[in-house]
Amino acid sequence: MLYQLPRIMIVASALLAFPGATATAAHDVAISQAWSRATPKGAKVASGYLTIENHGAQSDRLLSASSPAAAKLEIHQMSMQDGIMTMRPLDDGLAIPADAIVTLAPGGDHIMFVGLTGPFEEGQRIPVSLNFARSGRIDTIFEVGSIGAKGPRLQIASIEPPPVAAASPVKAAPVDESFFTHICGTRVMADVTITPGRRGPVEVLVQLEDGDEKPLAVVALSVTLSNPDRNIAPVTAAAERVAADKWRVRMTAASSGKWSLSLGIDMKKDDRIDIAAPILVE
C-alpha cells in the first residue's frame, strides 16, 4: 500500500508550543504527540494516542484512520454506563470542536490498531492517515515507545523525511471462525476471542492486560452475555484460568446479531472492575 509522506511545515513558534506538530497550510487541524507502545509477542492489537488541535473557527470530525501497519484502525470511546466502563467503536467519528485541543491518552479515548501486520517495536515509526470531515486526509507518524510507556517520547522535530516504514504489503487480518474484540478500560484491557463467532455454543477466551498493556493476573473473571434487543436474559458464567493472564469459559449465544459482552474482573478482594463492549455473532 502506498502512503504519502506528510508534508511537514515547521514554524518556529509552533515548534516551541507543540513539539513535533505536523500541519499543512491547507487546514486548521494539526496533529502532534502521536504515539503508541511496543506490543508483546503475538499481540493482535495496539492502542494509539495523539493530540488533535483545531485552530479553526469551525468544528471538525475525525471520521476514520488507516495504516499499512494494521488491517483496520478504529476510534474507541470509553464511557461509564451504570457503573460499567464501556468501550465502543465510534462509527460516526470523534468530534473535534472549534478552537479546541482534543487529546487521546491512556485511560480515555484512543485509536485502536486491529489486526497488526507485525509487532510494534520500540523506536518504530508507524505511518497513519487520518480522515477528517472538513480537513480531509492528514498523514502523520505514530512513534512507538517502550512496552508500558506512559506517554509520548520526547519528539525531536526534524525535517528529514521519515524512513519508509511499511515495505511489506498489507496482510488482511487472519480469516478464521472467531470473533475478536479488544475491550479497553482505564485500569484493564482485554483481548476477547469468541470461537466460533456464530450462534450456539461458543468458547470465550480472555487475555488481560493492565492499563499499560502488560500481562495482568487477577483473582477471578466472569463473562456476561446479554442481548436486550431480543429480550434474552443476561447469562453470566465464571471463567477458568488457563494461564496467569488468560481465562476461558464456554457459554451459549442463542441468536445471531449484536450482543453485549461484559467482563466482571476481580482485581483483588473487594476491588472489582466491570468493562463491556458490543460483539457481533453470526
Return the range that interacts with Cu ion (CB under 5 A); candidates 26-34, 91-99, 108-116, 212-220: 108-116
Shortest spacing between CB 144 and Cu ion, in angstroms = 17
Which residue lies nearer to Cu ion by CB, 37 or 76? Answer: 76
Q: Considering the rule CB under 5 A, would residue 279 count as an interface residue with Cu ion?
A: no
Which residue lies nearer to Cu ion by CB, 21 or 263? Answer: 263
Residues 64 and 132: their CA atoms lie apart, in Å, by 7
Q: Considering the rule CB under 5 A, would residue 76 count as an interface residue with Cu ion?
A: yes
User: Cβ neighbours of residue 46 under 8 Å, at least 6 residues apart?
Assistant: 36, 37, 39, 70, 112, 113, 116, 120, 213
Q: Under a CB-based contact definition with an 8 Å cutoff, are residues 67 and 113 in contact?
A: yes
Q: Under a CB-based contact definition with an 8 Å cutoff, are residues 161 and 6 in contact?
A: no
Which residue lies nearer to Cu ion by CB, 21 or 276? Answer: 276
User: Cβ neighbours of residue 228 under 8 Å, at least 6 residues apart?
Assistant: 260
Length of the chain: 282
Q: Which residue has the cell 487541524?
A: 29
Q: Considering the rule CB under 5 A, would residue 44 count as an interface residue with Cu ion?
A: no
Q: Considering the rule CB under 5 A, would residue 184 count as an interface residue with Cu ion?
A: yes
Shortest spacing between CB 171 and Cu ion, in angstroms = 21
Shortest spacing between CB 5 and Cu ion, in angstroms = 27
Shortest spacing between CB 216 and Cu ion, in angstroms = 15
Which residue lies nearer to Cu ion by CB, 53 or 76? Answer: 76
Q: Which of 112, 206, 223, 281 binds Cu ion (CB under 5 A)?
A: 112
Residues 36 and 120: their CA atoms lie apart, in Å, by 8
Shortest spacing between CB 276 and Cu ion, in angstroms = 13
Return the range that interacts with Cu ion (CB under 5 A); candidates 138-146, 155-163, 179-187, 216-224: 179-187
Residues 100 and 56: their CA atoms lie apart, in Å, by 9
Shortest spacing between CB 78 and Cu ion, in angstroms = 8
Q: Under a CB-based contact definition with an 8 Å cutoff, are residues 15 and 21 in contact?
A: yes
Count of residues near Cu ion by CB under 5 A: 3
Enclosing H/E stretch for 189: strand 188-195
Residue 194 CB coordination number (10 Å):
25
CA 235 to chain centre: 27
Shortest spacing between CB 182 and Cu ion, in angstroms = 5
Return the range that interacts with Cu ion (CB under 5 A); candidates 14-22, 70-78, 97-105, 193-201: 70-78
Which residue lies nearer to Cu ion by CB, 63 or 220? Answer: 63
Which residue lies nearer to Cu ion by CB, 23 or 112? Answer: 112
Q: Under a CB-based contact definition with an 8 Å cutoff, are residues 73 and 90 in contact?
A: no
Shortest spacing between CB 265 and Cu ion, in angstroms = 16
Q: Which of 214, 187, 201 is nearest to 249 (CA)?
A: 201
Which residue lies nearer to Cu ion by CB, 14 or 78? Answer: 78
Residues 282 and 199: their CA atoms lie apart, in Å, by 6
What SS3 class is residue 16?
helix
Return the range that interacts with Cu ion (CB under 5 A); candidates 107-115, 117-125, 195-203, 227-235: 107-115
Interface residues toward Cu ion, by CB under 5 A: 76, 112, 184
